[in-house]
Structure 1
Amino acid sequence: MTKKKKIVVKIGSSLLANSDNLTLRYAFMNGLMSDLAYLQKQGHDIILTSSGSVALGLNMIDRKPEDAGILDKQAAAACGQPLLMNAYRQVASEYDMDVAQMLVTVEDMEDRRRFLNIKNTMLRLFENDILPIINENDSVATRDLRVGDNDRLSAKVAQMIDADLLIILTSVEGLYDRDPSDPDAKFIAEVKDVTEHLESTTGISTLGSGGMLTKMQAANMAQNAGCETIIAEGIIERPLSSVLNEERRYTRILVSGVTQSPLNIWLSNRLHVSGTLVVANDRVKALVEGGLGIRREDVISLQGDFTKGDVLHVYNEDGEEIARGLTNFSSEETMLLARNLDMPVEDVIGYKTKSDVIGAENILILQENHLLLDAPEHDQKFVVPV
């Protein structure tokens, strides 16, 4: 690897923490930081997405992983994050590396302005040869407003910095066509279409919040952003360079299709659903053919307490997701507009603005290479009176 690249590396709790006593695996951490230092000295820009704070903090609050609730995990994260970063700082200093901590929430990644601010911070750290270490801020994130796993967080980071490569280190060699414990399981070295392998990727690790399914979801997010993904075993000695030098096997997920614009990439890779719209089927065809936004008269129902600038998921009447886009109105304003079609927009909401709920310039029509989200099963706010 001679060309300078932007590389995101993700490691999970099961690699960092001993599952028996929930203490750091310093041998793995040393091998990892040695490889990261090697890649950095080659001129590559590296970001480390690291789990581990919750696992390391559980001892301090006297809880086991299987018994910990959301409040326990928040407290454990607050206890474990200083331990984790102190260990990273100590080990990194042995390899003449500087590290920086960045804690983010799903709101940071989903809000466009915060997203760009995080990106600018990372770029400035690169300029100073400092390794950003990113984790979800589990001590403040609630169950409903959290990234949910660092696999998808790492993919969002890869998208954010226009990364060339996402490396996800895990406890197995890569992807199999079924549970790796099955003697008939076959190893899959290369993946083009992630959707073909989702059914075989069930289960999660004891310490982590994700499994192979979240890794494949992350790979799909990355490939749509023009970034290849490698899933490999997190061995102790040279966990990264042994893969990059083709010394052992791994699974590579290839880039799919033509890379879209930064805005469309951001729109397509969502971690949290702010709100949804159901659009009349007779409008869907024109919408999919392109060049049109979503008018207030197209909206049959809406769901969620969203604000102007949030990303909405758009469904047809059959519950199939067809698009995602930035809304020009809050949920309350959208409801009022859809219920008062005979009134001018400014008379309904009190100010003059564009009439489209989602403008044509801010909408993404989903394609086959996007993983679609099922329509939420919660009660909807019907905006068209019966």
Structure 2
Amino acid sequence: MATLTQARRLIVKIGSALLVDRQTGALREDWLSSLAGDVAWLRGLGTDVVLVSSGSIALGRGVLGLPAADLALEQSQAAAAVGQIRLARAYEQALAPHGITAAQVLVTLEDSANRRRYLNSRATLETLLGLGVVPIVNENDTIATDEIRYGDNDRLAAQVAVTVGADQLILLSDVDGFYSGNPTVESTARRFDVIDRITPQIEAMAGDAGSGLSKGGMKTKLMAARMATAGGCAMAITLGSPLNPLKQLENGATATWFTAQLDPQAARKRWIASMKPRGEVIVDAGAARALKTGKSLLPAGVTAVMGRFGRGDAVVILGPQDQRLGQGLIRYTVTEAETIRGCKSSEIETRLGYPGRAALIHRDDMAL
């Protein structure tokens, strides 16, 4: 069974019901402070941490005096606009005493469906983590409509886990794991310690009901588990309401762990390799050698560009004798790539007339 101290990169999903008191609509400051302590403990062990947090609508509706019942779309978006400021400030104030900088990252489903936006999101999150920042990710409820919504932060958390190559995802829930039935009404319902594969029988056991201020039920958690484990990320469902919930989990709190199907990096490489390429780039012998040692592909090593591709599309990488080296997700359009091929990274801005990324294809976006 996995332990948190084994994680290189950890995603933690926090639901509204954990952050916001159901009766008063106020922030549970003592609980958030304890979570911040857990994050500081994990950061001290060298673990990257990303928090995927609900709560903006729950906080905003209280400030605006909106009813506890379901809100109209425009009311939800107004509540999110007010609540998101408070949510970000709460995390900033909770993490600051530990010397941790927080960043707010708001996304919609379009940001993962559109490959260019996906790569931009990935690059931003990687940069923040590299700088020691803890990103606080939430759905952009202020602008999201049904067509571009995740609709629940369980699946958003799984998408973030896959995007940044996390090896563990923790869903802090109102239940201590996945059960064969609803434990509040079925005395015979049993909790699973470990689920190695999500079978049709497991799916049939999932219920629909959300809890309190949250939207997700067990079905959304299973969807998240399927996405995360396929991307090489183990996932746990555990009770989030106690103080220091992450330390509680490390110290043996009950939970259900879903086993990762692949290593995160291997899963990403397989995904990239399976994509339909939209073009080709031919590299010189020096670049080919560099790629084999794990380096990114820089414009200086590119001798030719072919095809019709945009930023984020898959392209085949060919060696100087047209041998196939692999493929990757390119960071420039075909026109841009042709303009900067053969030039040094320091010359990119001069060639393009605007700043660009140093790598044509980053090593993390490449399957050789």
Same fold, judged at TM 0.5 (above): yes
Q: 1:76-115 to 2 correspondence within 5 Å?
A: 76-115=79-118
Q: Do the aligned partners of residues 5 and 211 (structure 1) sit closer, same or farther apart at CA in structure 2, a change above 3 Å counting?
A: same
Amino acid in structure 2 at the alignment position of 1:236: P
1:197 has 2:202 as partner:
yes
Structure 2 gap ranges (5+): 275-309, 314-368
How many Å separate the matches in 2 of 1:265 and 1:244? 31
Is 1:14 the counterpart of 2:13? The answer is no
> Aligned partners of 1:225, 1:155: CA distance in 2, in Å?
9
1:85, distance to aligned residue in structure 2 (A)? 0.8
Q: Please give the alpha-carbon distance, in whole angstroms, between the structure 1 residues aligned to 2:66 and 2:52.
A: 25
Distance in 1 of aligned mates of 2:196 and 2:121: 30
Corresponding residue number in structure 2 for 1:118? 121
Q: Residue 309 and residue 178 in structure 1: after superposition, are their counterparts in 2 closer, same or farther (change >3 A)?
A: farther
Task: Determine which of 211, 235, 241 is the counterpart of 1:235.
Answer: 241
Partner Cα separation in structure 1 for residue 107 and residue 244 of structure 2 = 28
Segments of structure 1 that go 5 or more residues without pairing to the other structure are 269-307, 312-386
Deviation, structure 1 residue 65: 3.4
Give the conservation status (yes or no) of the 8 Å contact 1:192–1:253. yes
Q: Aligned partner of 1:83: which letter?
A: R
Deviations 1:70-129 (A, max 9, x none): 111111100100011111111111222110000011111111111111111111111211
1:127-142 equivalence runs, <5 A: 127-142=130-145
Measured against aligned partners, the alpha-carbon deviations of 1:112-161 in whole angstroms (never above 9, x if no partner) come to 11111111111111121110000000000002210111100110111011
- 1:109 corresponds to which letter in structure 2? S
SS at match of 1:43: coil
Equivalent-residue separation in structure 1 for 2:104 and 2:182 (angstroms): 35
What is the CA–CA distance in structure 1 between the aligned matches of 2:221 and 2:133, rounded to whole Å? Answer: 26
The residue correspondences of 1:129-278 to structure 2 (distance < 5 A) are 129-181=132-184, 182-195=186-199, 196-202=201-207, 203-245=209-251, 247-256=252-261, 261-262=267-268, 265=271
1:75 aligns with 2:78: yes
Larger helix fraction of residues: 2
TM-score by length of 1: 0.66
Task: Evaluate the alpha carbon distance shift between residue 112 and residue 90 of structure 1 in structure 2; reply closer, same or farther with a 3 A threshold.
Answer: same
Q: Hey, what does 1:372 align to over in structure 2?
A: none
Q: Distance in 2 between matches of 1:3 and 1:68?
A: 41
Distance 1:73 1:116, change over 3 A: same
Rounded to whole Å, the distance in 2 between the matches of 1:213 and 1:49 is 18
What one-letter code is carried by the residue in structure 1 that aligns with 2:18? L
Work out the CA distance in 1 between the residues paired with 2:171 and 2:125: 19
Decide whether the 8 Å contact of 1:31 with 1:236 is kept in 2: no
What letter matches 1:208 in structure 2?
S
1:1-80 alignment runs, 5 A limit: 5-80=8-83
- Read off the aligned partner of 2:218 and give its amino acid letter: M
Question: Structure 2 counterpart of 1:74, which letter?
Answer: Q
Distance 1:230 1:267 in 2: 28
TM-score, normalising length from structure 2? 0.69
> What do you get for the CA RMSD once the two structures are aligned?
2.4
Q: Say if 1:204 and 1:211, in contact at 8 Å, map to a contact too.
A: yes
Conserved? CA contact 2:11–2:52, under 8 Å: yes
Alpha-carbon contact 2:230-2:267 (below 8 Å) kept = no
Going from structure 1 to structure 2, the CA distance change for 1:2 and 1:12 (only over 3 Å counts) comes to closer
